[in-house]
Amino acid sequence: MSTRCILARCGLVTLASAFLLTPYESALAQWSIPDELGAQASVLNDEQLEFITSGAALKFIPEQQLEHELATRDAGSLQALVNALMSVSDEMGYDPQRDMGATPLNTASKRFNRHTLPTPAPLRELEREPGPFSVHRYLYPQSGVPTFAGAKVAIWPEDLIAGKVDVAIIGVPSNASSGRRDAGNGPSAMRATNTIAIPDAQSLIRPHEVLSVADYGDFSVDWLATELAVGHVTDMVAETAETGAIPMLVGGDTSMLYPGVKGVAQARGNGTFGLLHLNAHPDAERFGDHTVSDRQSMFLLLDEGIVDGSDTVQVGLRGPAVNVETLQWLRDKKVRYHTMAEIQQRGFDTVLKRVLREVEKGPDAFFVSIDVSVIDPTEMVAAGRIAPNGLRIEEVTQAIRHVCAAKDIVGFEITDMAPMMDISRLSVVNANAVLNACLVGIAVRKAGLKPDYIHPLVLDHGQ
């Protein structure tokens, strides 16, 4: 415990250093008052003029509107406007005398850390030999306690080790999406409507015969503060990865991408694997007022050097956070990003080829992650941060299946599927299809087959 710093604080230090390197203020473009408005602007005093020409006002009012106000307002009204904008600008940053800089916790609580302590072995009620165990009564289970992939249950790392588990599927039920919320119910919903690890109709592989798969339960998260979930989830993912099992994480909102990838890096080393990230949202917010959130997850991973930008491939960007500053930042970080504009311009197949080539050239090991918003709402209406004009489900599964078969997969994560938003439950079925695509890919690779292997019996009836 003592070797680790308190995670929220680590994040803070890193964020602070990021600001030192790229001071936000320097990003402000100077603004020159158009010549024809010079006379109107002359009613402003030096301080007001300096504020306007520094470009600071443009953060609150579009340029065209500012020009309009200059042209049409009388002196008093114009001064009032500029003064109002200046006071907004003054109040925008943190003031320790005025603002809460850290939300206090109840340090008198006897349950302060209760949700982050797995039951120690001597206090477990039941003794059993380690190893994954079935929760089903029948040899060919039809129903009963729902598990991911209908798999056996593992609870402790020794279960994973004893069972030589290849793939541990784990719920991370955080529920703090910056969009519509219910991703906390994602893991249960995906267990309850299981369509994972069924025999694969393309390769005719039966994943359960090739891989040892376990449902590794859920990792505990703090529902009132994402910050407090990060440390525990990171540690648990690392512990899982250290057993040799591939953690396949089921969110939860996309803030959990950060501890998911960080945990694998804790076990394997920063920068030792690439990251394929399918998401409508770049999640590279650099100036957030919190230290972690879904919108900051990619920023944190890249900024802390957990993954290298040049080993990172992003596909499907189109959300409201796609803007000049963000794309430029990603570019500077050497991230291979592929927006929906590129996909619409070049066609999906062409872009997919480019993506797969980039992945192929990358490190041997890859972490594959998907925020379900990348999928078009017609097939994923339950995406928390829903974004129209996305990818089709078969495009997504095709890409993921290929990469999971072509690379040494060190982790997988699917996030932000909010089941409540889809009374038809189609979104749950499709979320399972995405996870299944990676699972089948991993099985194809383990069976020694080529990534897009198609069994000859499937390809042609041969009559």
Tell whether residue 304 is a contact of other proteins (CB under 8 A). Answer: no
Answer for the pair 374, 291: CB distance below 8 angstroms, yes or no.
no
Among 266, 279, 291, 427, binds other proteins (CB under 8 A): 291
Write the Ramachandran bin of 462: left for phi over 0, alpha for psi from -120 to 50, otherwise beta. Answer: left
Residue 314 touches other proteins, criterion: CB under 8 A: no
**Nearest to other proteins of 54, 310 (CB atom):** 54
In the complex, the smallest distance separating the C-beta of residue 459 from other proteins, rounded to whole angstroms, is 43
Q: Does 3 bind other proteins (CB under 8 A)?
A: no
**Quick check: 226 binds other proteins (CB under 8 A)?**
yes
Give the x-and-dash track for 67-96 against other proteins (CB under 8 A).
----------x--xx-xxx-xx--xxxx-x
Instruction: Region of 308 please: left (phi>0), alpha (psi -120 to 50) or beta.
Output: beta
Q: Which CB atom, from 28 or from 365, has the smaller least distance to other proteins?
A: 28
Q: Among 100, 139, 324, 459, which residue sits at the site for other proteins (rule: CB under 8 A)?
A: 100
Choosing from 35, 39, 64, 104, the residue that interacts with other proteins (CB under 8 A) is: 104
For other proteins, which stretch binds (CB under 8 A), given 149-157, 174-182, 336-344, 441-449? 174-182
Is position 228 an interface residue for other proteins (rule: CB under 8 A)?
yes
DSSP string, 399-448: HHHHHHHHSEEEEEEEE-B-GGG-TT-HHHHHHHHHHHHHHHHHHHHHTT
- Which of 182, 215, 303, 358: binder of other proteins (CB under 8 A)? 182
Q: Which is nearer to other proteins, 116 or 310 (CB)?
A: 116
Block residue for tokens 């590794």: 216
Separation between Cα atoms, residue 313 and residue 406, nearest integer Å: 15
Q: Is 29 a binder of other proteins (CB under 8 A)?
A: no
Task: Report the Cα 37 to chain-centroid distance in Å.
Answer: 47
Query: Segment near other proteins (CB under 8 A), from 131-139, 147-155, 287-295, 402-410?
Result: 287-295
Q: Which of 39, 121, 139, 324 binds other proteins (CB under 8 A)?
A: 121
Q: What are phi and psi of 200, to 5 degrees?
A: -90, 125
The stretch near other proteins (CB under 8 A) out of 1-9, 232-240, 325-333, 427-435 is 1-9
Q: Write the DSSP assignment of 148-168 as a string of letters.
A: GGGPEE--SHHHHHHTT-SEE
Under the binding rule (CB under 8 A), the answer on residue 346 touching other proteins is no
Q: How far is the CB of 316 from other proteins (least distance, A)?
A: 23
- Report the side by side order of strands in the sheet with 365-371: 152-153, 213-218, 167-172, 246-251, 408-415, 365-371, 274-278, 312-317, 336-339
Residue 159 CB, shortest distance to other proteins, in Å, is 19
* Nearest to 453, CA basis, from 413, 405, 407: 405
Residues 6+ apart with CB under 8 A from 282: 298, 314, 317, 319, 321, 322, 326, 327, 330, 337
Based on the shown chain and the rule CB under 8 A, indicate whether residue 99 belongs to the binding site for other proteins. Answer: yes
Interaction between residue 458 and other proteins (CB under 8 A): no
| Residue 45, token pair as written in the block | 């005093």
Minimum Å distance from CB 97 to other proteins? 6
d(CA 249, CA 457) in angstroms, rounded, equals 33
Residue 105 or 458 with smaller CB distance to other proteins: 105
How far apart are alpha carbons 443 and 168 in whole angstroms?
Answer: 14
Shortest distance, CB of residue 119 to other proteins, whole angstroms? 8
Q: In sequence order, which residues have a C-beta less than 8 Å from that of residue 107 and are 6 or more positions away?
A: none
For the window 381-420, what string marks contact with other proteins as x by the rule CB under 8 A? -------------------------------------x-x
At a CB cut-off of 8 Å and minimum separation 6, what does 407 contact?
274, 359, 364, 365, 366
Which of positions 9-28 make contact with other proteins (CB under 8 A)?
9, 12, 15-16, 19, 24-25
Determine how many CB atoms are found less than 10 A away from the CB of residue 47: 11
Considering only residues 416-445, where is the footprint of other proteins by CB under 8 A?
A: 418, 420-421, 423
Question: Residues 3, 26, 30, 109: which binds other proteins (CB under 8 A)?
Answer: 109
Least distance CB 68 / other proteins (angstroms):
11
